Each structure stands twice: as structure tokens, then as C-alpha cells.
């Protein structure tokens, strides 16, 4: 990956991290507001729980792209760390191929459901959030993780990063 491309991805990752951090702060504020309203005033923001669930799902899938890019996802390395270099490369290639396959296969179905929900104009019950937005974050996360896995697979096959 060229230096300019890496800088662009790094800047985009920082922007996404800032946006997700702001969303997390807004979620905490909404939870606090709902607690105060519920236990002091006997009222609540009716759409809060639904909006928080959608925000959490979106955060997880969008943040997973950055986690994948930084190679910080969970994995078991007890056996692979003691293997020879060639075996590690083969396993890494298979890992990236499987990850890309699962993510992009699942993304295909996420795309279909997102388009269907958008076409129907389906919204959530309380918050009236368009459901295609919530499904769209899942789609973006899956595609992003799949593309990261394909890039890593390319690097393994091209023997980059040895």
C-alpha cells in the first residue's frame, strides 16, 4: 500500500474513531437523561432504548473495520506461534480467505435486506428510525472487514510484510 493511501486510510480511521466516540458519549448522555427522567420525574424518553440498540449495533460493525485493519481482533495463537514461518503464512492466508468469504457472503444478504427495507420504507416502532440505516451499518462493517481481509490475503500471497 502506498504511503499516500496509508495516510488517507489513517486519516479516515481517525475521523471514524472520533465520530464513534462522539456517538458513544451521546449514548451515555441519553442513558443518563432517561435514568433521571424515569426515577425522578416518573417519565422517560420512549424511543431511547430502541435508538441505543441501533447505535450500539452500528458502533460495533463500524468499529470492527478499524479493529480488523489494525489486526487487533481476537484469535487463538497457541498452536500457530510455534509453527515454522511457511506454515504460519499458509494459515494466515487461509484465515484471511475464510474471513473475506464469510464477511462478503454475509454482506450480500445484508445488502439484499437493506435494499428491501429501504424500498419498503420500514421504520422502527418507537424511534421511527429507518431500518435500512441500521442494516446499512452492518453492511458497511461486513464489506469493510471483507476488504481488509482481501488486502491482507493479497499481502500474504505477494509475500509482503515478511
pLDDT in tens, the chain (162 residues): 567 777 887 888 888 889 999 999 999 999 999 999 999 999 999 999 999 999 999 999 999 998 998 888 888 888 888 899 999 999 999 999 999 999 999 999 999 999 999 999 999 999 999 999 999 999 999 999 999 999 999 999 998 655
Q: Are 121 and 130 in contact (CB under 8 A)?
A: yes
Spatial CB neighbours of 97, under 8 Å, sequence gap ≥ 6:
149, 153
The strand pairing partners of 145, in sequence order, are none
Tell me the CA end-to-end span of the chain in Å, nearest whole number.
Answer: 15
Q: Are 26 and 58 in contact (CB under 8 A)?
A: no
Instruction: Delimit the domains of the chain by residue range.
Output: 3-157
Amino acid at each position: 500500500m502506498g504511503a499516500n493511501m496509508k495516510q488517507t486510510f489513517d486519516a479516515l480511521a481517525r475521523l471514524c474513531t472520533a465520530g464513534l466516540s462522539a456517538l458513544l458519549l451521546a449514548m451515555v448522555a441519553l442513558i443518563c437523561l432517561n435514568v433521571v427522567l424515569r426515577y425522578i420525574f416518573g417519565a422517560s424518553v420512549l424511543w431511547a432504548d430502541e435508538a441505543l440498540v441501533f447505535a450500539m449495533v452500528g458502533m460495533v460493525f463500524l468499529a470492527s473495520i478499524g479493529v480488523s485493519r489494525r489486526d487487533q481482533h481476537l484469535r487463538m495463537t497457541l498452536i500457530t506461534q510455534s509453527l515454522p514461518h511457511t506454515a504460519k503464512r499458509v494459515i494466515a492466508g487461509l484465515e484471511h480467505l475464510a474471513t473475506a468469504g464469510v464477511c462478503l457472503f454475509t454482506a450480500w444478504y445484508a445488502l439484499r435486506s437493506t435494499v428491501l427495507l429501504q424500498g419498503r420504507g420500514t421504520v422502527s416502532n418507537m424511534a421511527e428510525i429507518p431500518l435500512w440505516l441500521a442494516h446499512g451499518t452492518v453492511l458497511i462493517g461486513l464489506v469493510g472487514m471483507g476488504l481488509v481481509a482481501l488486502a491482507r490475503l493479497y499481502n500474504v500471497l505477494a509475500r509482503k510484510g515478511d
